[in-house]
Chains A and B, each alone.
Chain A
Amino acid sequence: MTNLKGALSALIVAGSMASGAMADPVDDTLIINEELTIVTRTAAPAHVADVLDEVMSGWLFRGTETRAMQADDFDNPGMIFVEQAEDVWNTADGSEGKSCADCHGASSDMSDVRPTFPKWNDAAEKVFTLEMQINDCRENRMGAEKWKYTGGDIVNMTALLASVSRGKPVNVAIDGPAQSTWEDGKELYYTRTGQLELSCANCHEDSYGKMIRADHLSQGQINGFPTYRLKNTKLNSAHARFKGCVRDTRAETYSPGSPEFVALELYVASRGNGLSVEGPSVRN
């Protein structure tokens, strides 16, 4: 019995490897506006090298037309929201009568920011996502209302801050004070949730490159966030995507902005250290 099972699982492994190869990521290079080359695959960072050789952007797993849309800002529907956020960046709001630009200068001066988020915030003594940082400025520096965590205003602003960082390598810190949050995120990544008992790793580490029903599984990287999805024709934040993926395991999800998703975001971002920031990206 044991031998039989062994032989069969050997067959199964061989079979699934063969079919996996059929749906491999494409061999293609993303060059935006014919000038900016995006790193969509690179050697895995040390902290995931035991499970992945290479890390790959979700762009490599999408179809020809979807990939082409992201290569030209005129065709990328996400860029409309970047323009809207640029206006907001320059508009005063709140009791202090200040705009983001009043304190930070041009949005293009922020190009080193997106690659390092989520990151530890000393004053708050916790890891901040970009959304948390933006809301912190609105509440505590501008005297303005917080934006809804996954609402249009904030997702547009994260698209602006991603767009000015495009081409720069994701480089989140996982040590120092952020380390315990990173470890919480790692634990969540490998936890098999819901009635289907599936973890992020089951789909995005063990099965990337394969088809699950109609979907070509990627590594579930977040270097492309926020993503403009053709499916819902709007920008989607990483936490909204996490929520959808957890829901699809027939689980009770966590909420966007919850400590669990902040930790998960830090961990997932760190798996893409070395890939270029490419948000707002286009996905189906």
Chain B
Amino acid sequence: MRVSIITTIAAAVSATALGAAEIAPTAVSFEDGTVSQSLSGVAGDPASGSEIVGSKKLGNCIACHQVSDLADVPFQGEIGPSLDGAGERWTEAELRGIVANAKIMFEDTMMPSFYKTEGFIRPGNAYTGEAADDTFGPLLTAQQIEDVVAYLSTLKE
């Protein structure tokens, strides 16, 4: 118990220390659609990533993708390919690029850009139908992207 508290604090401290190292959505550097550098500077947590992929309120990836590993999440969509085996098909840098901004790897794809804050037409305030205000941020935070990438990396066929 004690150990884990200390680890958590240590992680929090290092995250803060590395706060400056967090890469802003407008500063991500893509190479052929891939992003090699961690966006948060903190290792991703696959358990949190799995939650984000399945949750309607977070990544909602399941709206378009099937994931056998999340068989308990109902109503998996079929707009994009199944994510089974994504960790084998793609490297970590490729997955980070796809999740951060899939339109660079797959031109004109329907997949939303999860780590992007500029260039939208009539951006709204979440699902209210109202215009975006100054709380507007990327669909997922830097750490959430890292968590999703860590989870996808575990998906082996």
Binding site for B on A (CB under 8 A): 1, 5, 8-9, 11-12, 15-16, 19-20, 22-23, 191-198, 202, 206-207, 210-214, 243, 246-253
Most interface-central of B60, B121, B128 (chain A CB within 10 A): B121
Which residue of chain B lies nearest to A18 when distances are taken between CB atoms in the complex?
A: B78
Does B77 belong to the interface (CB within 8 Å)?
Answer: yes
Say yes or no: B78 contacts A20, CB within 8 Å.
Answer: yes
Does B9 belong to the interface (CB within 8 Å)?
Answer: no
Say yes or no: B110 contacts A251, CB within 8 Å.
Answer: no
B67 to chain A, nearest CB (A): 13
Say yes or no: A211 contacts B129, CB within 8 Å.
Answer: no
User: How far is it, in angstroms, between the C-alpha of A206 and the C-alpha of B74 when the chains are bound?
Assistant: 24
Say yes or no: B78 contacts A248, CB within 8 Å.
Answer: no
Say yes or no: A195 contacts B77, CB within 8 Å.
Answer: no
* Chain B residues positioned under 8 Å from A194 (CB to CB): 120-124
* Chain B residues positioned under 8 Å from A212 (CB to CB): 63-64, 77, 79
A-B contact pairs, 9 of them (CB 8 A): A9-B106, A16-B80, A194-B123, A195-B139, A210-B78, A212-B64, A212-B77, A249-B124, A250-B126
Binding site for A on B (CB under 8 A): 32, 56, 60, 62-64, 74-82, 89, 103, 105-106, 110, 112-113, 120-132, 136, 139
User: How far is it, in angstroms, between the C-alpha of A251 and the C-alpha of B130 when the chains are bound?
Assistant: 7
Say yes or no: A19 contacts B78, CB within 8 Å.
Answer: yes
* Chain A residues positioned under 8 Å from B126 (CB to CB): 250
* Chain A residues positioned under 8 Å from B110 (CB to CB): 198, 202, 206-207
Within 8 Å by CB of A15, from B63, B82, B129, lies: B82
Which residue of chain A lies nearest to B89 when distances are taken between CB atoms in the complex?
A: A8
Say yes or no: B122 contacts A252, CB within 8 Å.
Answer: yes
B29 to chain A, nearest CB (A): 17
Assess A252 versus B56: contact at CB under 8 Å? Given A20-B78, A191-B121, A195-B139: no
User: How far is it, in angstroms, between the C-alpha of A243 and the C-alpha of B128 when the chains are bound?
Assistant: 11
Say yes or no: B64 contacts A250, CB within 8 Å.
Answer: no
* Chain A residues positioned under 8 Å from B89 (CB to CB): 8
User: How far is it, in angstroms, between the C-alpha of A252 and the C-alpha of B133 when the chains are bound?
Assistant: 11
B88 to chain A, nearest CB (A): 12
A121 to chain B, nearest CB (A): 28
* Chain B residues positioned under 8 Å from A192 (CB to CB): 121
User: How far is it, in angstroms, between the C-alpha of A193 and the C-alpha of B125 when the chains are bound?
Assistant: 13
A181 to chain B, nearest CB (A): 20
User: How far is it, in angstroms, between the C-alpha of A213 and the C-alpha of B66 when the chains are bound?
Assistant: 10
Say yes or no: B127 contacts A211, CB within 8 Å.
Answer: no
Say yes or no: B122 contacts A251, CB within 8 Å.
Answer: yes
Q: Which 10 A-B pairs have the closest CB atoms?
A: A214-B75, A247-B129, A213-B63, A252-B131, A19-B78, A253-B129, A251-B124, A252-B122, A196-B112, A251-B122
* Chain B residues positioned under 8 Å from A246 (CB to CB): 129
Assess A12 versus B81: contact at CB under 8 Å? Given A197-B120, A252-B130: yes
Most interface-central of A1, A19, A206 (chain B CB within 10 A): A19
* Chain A residues positioned under 8 Å from B124 (CB to CB): 194-195, 247, 249-253
* Chain B residues positioned under 8 Å from A198 (CB to CB): 110, 112
B125 to chain A, nearest CB (A): 8
User: How far is it, in angstroms, between the C-alpha of A5 and the C-alpha of B81 when the chains are bound?
Assistant: 14
* Chain B residues positioned under 8 Å from A196 (CB to CB): 112
Within 8 Å by CB of B78, from A1, A11, A211, A247, lies: A211
Say yes or no: A250 contacts B123, CB within 8 Å.
Answer: yes
Say yes or no: B78 contacts A195, CB within 8 Å.
Answer: no
User: How far is it, in angstroms, between the C-alpha of A243 and the C-alpha of B122 when the chains are bound?
Assistant: 13
Assess A207 versus B79: contact at CB under 8 Å? Given A251-B123, A253-B124: yes
Assess A1 versus B32: contact at CB under 8 Å? Given A212-B64, A252-B130: yes
Say yes or no: B78 contacts A16, CB within 8 Å.
Answer: yes
* Chain A residues positioned under 8 Å from B121 (CB to CB): 191-194, 197, 251
A227 to chain B, nearest CB (A): 19
